[in-house]
Amino acid sequence: LYEAAATRLKGIVPLAKVDCTASSSVCGKYGVSGYPTLKIFRDGEDSGSYDGPRTADGIVSHLKKQAGPSSVELKSEAEFQKFIGDRDASVVGFFADGGSAAQGEFLKAASALRESYRFAYTNVEDLLKKHDVDGEGIILFRPPHLGNKFEDGSVKFTEDKFTSAKIKKFIQDNIFGICPHMNDDNKDQLKGKDLLVAYYDVDYEKNPKGSNYWRNRFYLCQKKNQSLFVCSRDGKALEKFLQDYFDGNLKRYLKSETIPENNDGPVKVVVAENFDSIVNDESKDVLIEFYAPWCGHCKSLEPKFKELGEKLSDDPNIVIAKMDATANDVPSSYEVRGFPTIYFSPAGQKQNPKKYEGGREVSDFISYLKREATNTVVVQEDEKKSKKKKSEL
């Protein structure tokens, strides 16, 4: 990973390495006692130990922040928009007077926090006017892809006096917002805070809507509930809980929608509570779609899946089903990373479901089932054709 980072940083920050077994005097001079030790040198002098992330991406990101000025100057609207459009938060100082004490304090704060956050400043009058800054001001801009209706996309520094200490506190209090995206680059900064952490498949490149769908659910919890959990510290309550567990009296918690009262449609509605009775019925072949309500591809598939269910409605051995994977716990043997995800669960082999990778037309599904089904597939359309042929004879 060090070599990979060096390649990506070529021409920006040179990376070097020392073999301490062959150059013990060099390592001793700089107090290296453990391996690997990473140090940053600035202008030929030891600037301190590297304490950033130890992945290729993390090293590149960290050292890019170390290179060049701690705060870049923005001279135009285009430069400003490019800067705040980054995937990390941006802190911008607006100063009518480039030599002001306020700008000096801002640059001090930027120098102290350069390893963690992105800083820029501007003295362009039009930019000050556009952002309603009278003389001097600081605005923290949150990443555009994390924008939401529950909090402002930017926060203004409101203290009367500009000091580096107050500026640093303002940034550290506001940089992450209500629900930050924890990653390798910022996880150390989030340590020590009281956090409820939700772990799920966050992917703002391929699935921004899905990533924000779950994130918005957490916003709603934060907004509605100041106390999210109530815990009992009573020893007797814990003792009873454990006894119930060992006696087999506890029911496993499942996130599940209510079992539908009427489930006679061509596509059976599966929830966590009825998954076993429908999908794990050993006598049935089941083709099940895992979907999300907000997924456009799932909405396009819905009429085709319904038509498939109708065509196979006379087949007693095949079930066409669907499940909202955002509202129900999905069994671990079904890996759902995107939507829609379709699985075939063969009769008599419920522990080995097969992920469907074929086309999404009705004819594609029927061809697949004719190939994979345990019993001969009964398709209504085929019956009609055979009846027509008999009448012609």
The answer on 137 and 96 residing in a single domain is yes
The answer on 58 and 13 residing in a single domain is yes
**Torsion angle defined by CA atoms of residues 98, 102, 103 and 108, in that order, rounded to the nearest 10 degrees:** 150
Mean pLDDT of 381-385: 53
State the residue range of the domain holding 164: 72-189
Weakest mean pLDDT among 48-62, 145-159, 204-218, 330-344: 204-218
Mean pLDDT of 164-190: 76
Tell me the H-state helices in 67-191.
77-84, 101-113, 125-130, 164-174, 187-190
Mean pLDDT of the chain: 83
Chosen domain end from 155, 189, 223:
189
The predicted pLDDT at position 53 comes to: 78
The predicted pLDDT at position 9 comes to: 87
The answer on 108 and 26 residing in a single domain is no
- pLDDT > 90? residue 320: yes
The answer on 85 and 44 residing in a single domain is no
The answer on 54 and 87 residing in a single domain is no
The answer on 185 and 82 residing in a single domain is yes
The answer on 369 and 275 residing in a single domain is yes
Mean pLDDT of 161-171: 93
More confidently predicted of 185 and 283? 283
- Has residue 236 been placed in a domain? no
- Has residue 211 been placed in a domain? no
120-129: pLDDT as tens digits = 999 999 999 9
- Has residue 327 been placed in a domain? yes
Mean pLDDT of 339-347: 95
- Has residue 233 been placed in a domain? no
The answer on 26 and 79 residing in a single domain is no
Distance in angstroms (rounded) separating the CA atoms of residues 90 and 141: 5
The predicted pLDDT at position 200 comes to: 52
Chosen domain end from 189, 212, 233:
189
More confidently predicted of 252 and 216? 252
Distance in angstroms (rounded) separating the CA atoms of residues 197 and 221: 13
Q: Which residues contact 307 (CB under 8 A, 6 or more apart)?
A: 362
Chosen domain end from 66, 96, 119:
66
The answer on 355 and 316 residing in a single domain is yes
- Has residue 20 been placed in a domain? yes
Give how many domains the chain has, as a whole number: 3
Mean pLDDT of 170-193: 70
More confidently predicted of 190 and 85? 85
Mean pLDDT of 240-261: 83
- Has residue 231 been placed in a domain? no
Q: Which DSSP letter does residue 259 get? A: P
The answer on 173 and 87 residing in a single domain is yes
- Has residue 149 been placed in a domain? yes
The predicted pLDDT at position 390 comes to: 47
Q: How far is CA 148 from CA 112, 142, 179, 209, 212, in A?
A: 30, 10, 10, 12, 9
- Has residue 173 been placed in a domain? yes
Mean pLDDT of 247-270: 89
Mean pLDDT of 313-334: 94
The predicted pLDDT at position 230 comes to: 44
More confidently predicted of 246 and 270? 270
- 3-state SS class at 383: helix
More confidently predicted of 363 and 185? 363
Q: Which residues contact 309 (CB under 8 A, 6 or more apart)?
A: 265, 266, 267, 320
The answer on 89 and 59 residing in a single domain is no
Mean pLDDT of 79-90: 90
More confidently predicted of 259 and 338? 259
pLDDT band at 138, cuts 50/70/90?
Answer: very high
The predicted pLDDT at position 344 comes to: 97
Displacement of CA 185 from its chain's centroid (Å): 14
The predicted pLDDT at position 96 comes to: 94
- pLDDT > 50? residue 339: yes
188-247: pLDDT as tens digits = 666 655 555 656 566 656 666 665 665 666 555 554 444 444 444 456 666 777 788 788
CATH number where 332 lies: 3.40.30.10
The answer on 178 and 76 residing in a single domain is yes
Mean pLDDT of 125-153: 85
